[in-house]
Amino acid sequence: MRFSALRAIARKEFIQIRRDKATLYMVAIFPLMMLVLYGFGIRYDVKSVPMTVLDQDGTPQSRQYVERFVHSPYFVVRRYVNNYRELQRDIDRGESRIGLVVSADFGERLSSRRTAEVQVIVDGADNNTATIAMSYVSQITQAYSSFVMVQQLEALLRQAQLTIPAIEAEPRVWFNPNLESVQFIVPGIIAIIMMIVGTVLTAVTIVKEKETGTIEQIVSSPIGRYELMLGKVLPYAALAYVDFLLIVGASYVLFGVRIKGSLLLLLLTAFIYLIGVLGLGILVSTSTQTQMSAMLTAIMASMLPSILLSGFIFPIRQMPRVLQAITIVVPARYFIEILRDIYLKGLGLEYFWKETLYILLFGCAMLILAARRFQKRLG
Amino acid sequence: MRRILQVVRKEFIQIRRDKGLVRMVLIAPLMQLVIYGYVVATDIRALPMAVLDQSDSAESRRLVDRFVFSGYFTLEGHVGSLKEAERHLNSGRSMIVLVIPEDFARDVRRGVKTQVQLLVDGTNSNTATIAMGYAGGIVAAANQEKLEEGIHRKGLRMIEAGIREEPRVWFNPSLRAINYMIPGIICVLLMEMMVPLTAFSLVRERERGTVEQLMVTPLRAEEVLIGKTIPYIAIGLIDAILILTAGTLWFGVPLPHNLGALLVCTSLFIVVALSLGILVATVVTTQQQAALSAQFALVPNILLSGFMFPIQSMPEAMQWFTTILPMRYFLVIVRSIMMKGLGLTELWDQILPLVGLGAVIFTISWLRFRRVFG
């Protein structure tokens, strides 16, 4: 390894990056955009489900019942309709996701202490929203039901000398007491952005030399292949690391996300993760010929698994066995776990030394594989 | 016309030569189908739970059984102290710890109010909220049973008044997640492939300097544009059909009746995505920049179009922002055609904004294209 050669290549690459202002801006803005989109835009909870009401009864009881939906944050009553056809039209056209039909004898049955019926029509296309919305409907219905019951029961209970509820559950949320999703998202964004900058950009920049033919000029120079490989990668390592610091800073300034654990450990583990990320980028570049396929391959091999198979949003434990097995080789999975331990739980190395060891091994394996496949030659 | 065909042929030869690209065009849709189909389309169940049972009585064991038999929680083990409970939560072995106090059994027998504590790992705010909802439901059911038991013991009859609800699920009666995912995957994949591919294929000519050679040929700007994009329209349609076929054969998702309408709208969306790609190509000068800026176009479309997260739950400002995302409309169109069996006439209120947005994007990119490549 000759450091003068390494420095020369790294310098050339730095100059190319510096000239390319557009890339620099994008590398800086991209993580901020992700942070803002995830932090402000996305809500996992289902709220304000649009609803159409067909109240065939129109008694004080039925209105009281419907009123409960109006005041619930989970539903927005879009329209009151007079017949079934109109309700059907609303659901068909997607204007409402839920249709509530209160039958004509609702009030009368309740007053005479019989079971009244309502029909709930659910747009099941989005199965997730549908399931959650249905459980909200049940909750509201049950609450109203027991309200009616308790009114009628009170005399009975007094007679039986019973008190109503027995057990109360008191939840205490640890690590993220306000259940803010930003807290939980920041570690994932760090891992993903480092992948995009580290792997995708690295792969594309190395393949670019092949594609534009400038590799010939380097081949004819006395620079060795390791110097070439490291020299090309170093500037992107710096970019990825700067991006990481940017996210840490911005999430604190914009969202007040604090690091509970050690900052030093955070900086260190991010550095270890970076090795594997860059190695993966080099590896992709050795197996593709054009920038177009390098980018697509890098996205498929790095970004998609980092977003979907890392536990970033979708918990690993809920996946089918086969996919759980695949997540074992996804480095983002371990890095996100480490970040959450440091960020949210404030834990020390004794809790995540295994994960740290794994990303270290992954990094070494990637670098060795990449170095063996990386050749300084034409074609 | 002949000149356009020649450009198409040149582009096809270039695509065919790029083995890595051909591989990706075929593998990418299937990989996404499997990952999205199995990962995103899952319910939250079997959450790991630990119990700190200080009461150690028949009553407390019955409550624990209720948690386990609900299917929402799996018992990771009993812990002896709060310290141990903390270790469980820290290491992530359990995500919820149920703490039952010493005098639980006594209070229950007496019919006095008693409290159990739930320690919840809030790291994943989403799962934590759902877990707390499940736990609340289980405790409520236990209380209800206790009340009925008490009334019966006193020799009284429970009043049956109340409301029975009869749910009817339309369009996806079995509430299968994959039925909902497949239309979404078609949209995401088209967006993910079409925008970068067009952008790359155009920028490549610029970066290599071959664009000058194109300029000196008798080809007109529109002929270059049409010729260069036709192969990618074909790739997009092939990928869409690939997903539909795999979804039907592998996941058993029913084929839509209105296949024609689906194809028409898909082609329309591909043209919109291509225009976006052309726009990217006219703004950037290197393929590396194209790779990054394509991500800028992609990420908001994927996150905010309603593909993974419902639009109506977003803050007002974001909801307004989503109206300029072409994918938002296409997503509704594909889902309606595939799941509700709607046709073109019923979907005009979605198709119109899509066409409008497409026209705006296309015009801007065409004007810029003529300046840069003409």
Cβ count within 10 A of residue B348: 10
Tokens of B310: 């419902």
What DSSP element (H or E) covers A347? none
| In contact, A207 and A296? CB cutoff 8 Å | no
Q: Which residue has the tokens 């790739």?
A: B235
Please determine, for residue A42, whether its predicted confidence score (pLDDT) is greater than 80.
Answer: no
Contacts of A378 (CB under 8 A, 6+ apart): A215, A216, A219
Q: What is the pLDDT of residue A162?
A: 60
CA angle A327, B294, B241 (to 5 degrees): 70
Q: What is the pLDDT of residue B40?
A: 67
Greater confidence, B166 or B83? B83
A238 to chain B, closest Cα gap in Å: 17
DSSP B44: -
Quick check: helix, strand or coil at residue B58? Answer: helix
DSSP B312: G
Number of H helices, E strands in chain A: 16, 5
Query: Pairing between strand B96-100 and B162-170?
Result: unpaired
A189 contact residues in B (CB cutoff 8 A):
none
A141 to chain B, closest Cα gap in Å: 7
From the candidates B15, B32, B116, B287, which should be mutated to test the interface with A, based on the most A CB atoms within 10 A? B287
Q: What is the pLDDT of residues B235-279, one digit of tens each?
A: 999 999 999 998 888 888 888 888 899 999 999 999 999 999 999
Q: What is the pLDDT of residue A277?
A: 93
Mean pLDDT of A224-237: 86
In angstroms, the Cα distances linking A31 to A97, A245, B283 are 34, 10, 20
Please determine, for residue B296, whether its predicted confidence score (pLDDT) is greater than 90.
Answer: no
Tokens of A325: 């097995």
Please determine, for residue A326, whether its predicted confidence score (pLDDT) is greater than 90.
Answer: no
Please determine, for residue A97, whether its predicted confidence score (pLDDT) is greater than 50.
Answer: yes
Inter-chain touch A127–B159, beta carbons under 8 Å: no
- The partner residue sitting opposite A125, judged by closest CB among B32, B120, B340, is B340
Q: What is the pLDDT of residues B230-242, one digit of tens each?
A: 999 999 999 999 9
Beta strands in B65-179 (DSSP E): 73-78, 96-100, 114-121, 162-170
Distance in angstroms (rounded) separating the CA atoms of residues A339 and A354: 13
Q: Which residue of A has its CA nearest to B168?
A: A121
- The partner residue sitting opposite A124, judged by closest CB among B89, B91, B169, is B169
A175 contact residues in B (CB cutoff 8 A):
89, 121-123
- The partner residue sitting opposite B162, judged by closest CB among A149, A323, A351, is A149
Q: Which residue has the tokens 């509704």?
A: B332
Please determine, for residue A374, whether its predicted confidence score (pLDDT) is greater than 50.
Answer: yes
Q: What is the pLDDT of residue B24?
A: 79
A355 to chain B, closest Cα gap in Å: 12
Percent of chain A surpassing pLDDT 70: 92
DSSP A64-77: HHHHHHHH-TTEEE
Distance in angstroms (rounded) separating the CA atoms of residues B369 and B205: 13
Q: Which residue of A has its CA nearest to B44?
A: A318
Q: How many CA atoms lie within 13 A of B50 on its CB side?
A: 24
Beta strands in A97-238 (DSSP E): 98-102, 115-123, 167-174
Q: What is the pLDDT of residue A379?
A: 45
Distance in angstroms (rounded) separating the CA atoms of residues A369 and A362: 10
Q: Which residue of A has its CA nearest to B341?
A: A92
Cα torsion A290, A293, A298, A300 to 10°: value is -170
A292 to chain B, closest Cα gap in Å: 6
Please determine, for residue B159, whether its predicted confidence score (pLDDT) is greater than 60.
Answer: no
Inter-chain touch B31–A300, beta carbons under 8 Å: yes
Q: What is the pLDDT of residue A264?
A: 94
B201 contact residues in A (CB cutoff 8 A):
292
Lowest mean pLDDT among A27-31, A346-350, B143-147, B341-345: B143-147
| In contact, B143 and A165? CB cutoff 8 Å | yes
In angstroms, the Cα distances linking A179 to A36, A182, B71, B108, B223 are 18, 9, 24, 31, 55
Distance in angstroms (rounded) separating the CA atoms of residues B321 and B327: 12
- For chains A and B, what is the number of CB pairs under 8 angstroms? 361
- The partner residue sitting opposite B18, judged by closest CB among A38, A138, A293, is A293
Interface of A with B in 300-329 (CB under 8 A): 300, 304, 308-309, 313-315, 317-320, 322-323
Please determine, for residue A378, whether its predicted confidence score (pLDDT) is greater than 60.
Answer: no
Q: What is the pLDDT of residue A273?
A: 95
From the candidates B73, B123, B153, which should be mutated to test the interface with A, based on the most A CB atoms within 10 A? B123
From the candidates B112, B139, B200, B288, which should be mutated to test the interface with A, based on the most A CB atoms within 10 A? B288
Query: Pairing between strand B96-100 and B73-78?
Result: unpaired
Greater confidence, B127 or B155? B127
Please determine, for residue A166, whether its predicted confidence score (pLDDT) is greater than 60.
Answer: no
* Angle in degrees, 0-180, between the axes of helices B259-283 and B348-373, rounded to the nearest 10: 30
Q: What is the pLDDT of residue B355?
A: 95
Q: Which residue of B has its CA nearest to A345?
A: B90
Distance in angstroms (rounded) separating the CA atoms of residues B19 and A346: 47
Q: What is the pLDDT of residues B93-104, one digit of tens each?
A: 888 999 999 988
Greater confidence, A102 or B140? A102
| In contact, A51 and A18? CB cutoff 8 Å | no
Please determine, for residue A160, whether its predicted confidence score (pLDDT) is greater than 60.
Answer: yes
Cβ count within 10 A of residue A160: 15
Phi, psi of B74 (to 5 degrees): -120, 140
Q: Which of B29, B76, B21, B67 is nearest to B48 (CA)?
A: B76
Mean pLDDT of A115-136: 83
Q: Which residue of B has its CA nearest to A114?
A: B161
| In contact, A164 and A157? CB cutoff 8 Å | yes
Tokens of A49: 């489900």
B63 contact residues in A (CB cutoff 8 A):
167
Mean pLDDT of B35-42: 71
Phi, psi of A175 (to 5 degrees): 70, -35
What DSSP element (H or E) covers A290? none
- Say if A59 is an interface residue toward chain B (CB within 8 Å): no
Cβ count within 10 A of residue B349: 11
B374 to chain A, closest Cα gap in Å: 23
Inter-chain touch A113–B160, beta carbons under 8 Å: yes
Q: What is the pLDDT of residue A357?
A: 95
Inter-chain touch A46–B318, beta carbons under 8 Å: no
| In contact, A43 and A184? CB cutoff 8 Å | no
Please determine, for residue A174, whether its predicted confidence score (pLDDT) is greater than 60.
Answer: yes
Average pLDDT, chain B: 84
Beta strands in A103-166 (DSSP E): 115-123
ipTM value: 0.75
Q: What is the pLDDT of residue B107?
A: 86
- The partner residue sitting opposite A166, judged by closest CB among B20, B113, B133, is B113
Please determine, for residue B155, whether its predicted confidence score (pLDDT) is greater than 70.
Answer: no
Q: Which of B188, B176, B166 is nearest to B339 (CA)?
A: B176
| In contact, B102 and B84? CB cutoff 8 Å | no
Q: What is the pLDDT of residues A258-307, one digit of tens each?
A: 888 899 999 999 999 999 999 999 999 988 888 888 888 888 888 888 88
Q: What is the pLDDT of residue B307?
A: 82
Q: Which residue of A has its CA nearest to B166?
A: A119
Tokens of B339: 């799941």
Inter-chain touch B44–A318, beta carbons under 8 Å: yes
- The partner residue sitting opposite B123, judged by closest CB among A76, A138, A184, is A184
Please determine, for residue B171, whether its predicted confidence score (pLDDT) is greater than 80.
Answer: no
Q: What is the pLDDT of residue A376?
A: 63
B21 contact residues in A (CB cutoff 8 A):
290, 292-293, 296
